[in-house]
Structure 1
Amino acid sequence: MTFLDYAVLLGFALVILGVALASIRLIKGPTLADRIVALDMMTVQLVAFAGLSALQSRNAAFLDVAVVLALVGFLATVCLARYLERRNAINREDRE
């Protein structure tokens, strides 16, 4: 095994650890904003996983998967942030 193989395996372990920690934050919350950030973090970790898979398998198709995941994750985060912003604006109007 080469140094790159060990580095990729360490990267996989750290990505799995990151997904596990983000899933804990996703479950515990306590706010909706925390859950949105946790989902975004999990998306970034999945993009990293796809990149590491491309390195390990020496197959560039995983890079396409990483790009698509990054785009979908970005759009989902923007949509959830807009939802949260509108929800907070409605709650502020109700209080007044």
Structure 2
Amino acid sequence: MDQFFLYSAVVLTIIIAVPLIRVVKGPTLFDRLLATNAIATKTIVLICLIGFLFGRIDMFIDITLAYAILGFIGVLAIAKYITSPKTRRNA
């Protein structure tokens, strides 16, 4: 069973690279923000899998909750910055 979770963690790490391309080459800032949020979500699942492999899922759940809160606050801050009137261009 541990082999399954280990292989799942490796596959999930490879899957994280797909939105990373969108973060680097994204045409708009919104695409980059969405890809960053997707990477954060997959990282949370990856941290939970690692916690299960180490047998300390209770400690890793706390880490993932803190990571999720930081990711959510970061997305809100960036969205607030994007939509503020000072950052809008004159059309």
Q: What band does the TM-score fall into relative to the shorter chain?
A: 0.7 to 0.9
Question: In the TM superposition, what whole-angstrom CA distance separates every residue of 1:43-86 from its partner, at most 9, and x where no partner exists?
Answer: 11111111101111110211111111000001101111111222
Determine if the alignment matches structure 1 residue 12 to structure 2 residue 6.
Answer: no
Secondary structure of residue in 2 paired with 1:69: helix
Are the counterparts in 2 of residues 36 and 77 from structure 1 also a CA contact under 8 Å? yes
TM-score when normalising by structure 1: 0.81
Determine if the alignment matches structure 1 residue 53 to structure 2 residue 50.
Answer: yes
Are the counterparts in 1 of residues 23 and 31 from structure 2 also a CA contact under 8 Å? yes
> Residues 48 and 88 (structure 1 numbering): CA distance in 2 closer, same or farther, change over 3 Å?
farther
CA RMSD in angstroms, aligned pairs only: 1.9
The one-letter code matched in structure 1 to 2:5 is V
The separation in 1 between residues aligned to 2:86 and 2:7, in whole angstroms, is 41
Are the counterparts in 2 of residues 18 and 42 from structure 1 also a CA contact under 8 Å? no
Structure 1: 4+ residue segments shifted above 4 A: none
Q: Higher Cα Rg: structure 1 or 2? A: 1
Q: CA deviation at 1:88?
A: 8.6
The separation in 2 between residues aligned to 1:52 and 1:88, in whole angstroms, is 42
> Residues 90 and 74 (structure 1 numbering): CA distance in 2 closer, same or farther, change over 3 Å?
same
Among 21, 29, 33, the alignment partner of 1:32 is: 29
The separation in 1 between residues aligned to 2:65 and 2:85, in whole angstroms, is 30
The residue number in structure 2 matching 1:78 is 76
In structure 2, runs of 5+ residues without a counterpart are none
The residue number in structure 2 matching 1:90 is 88
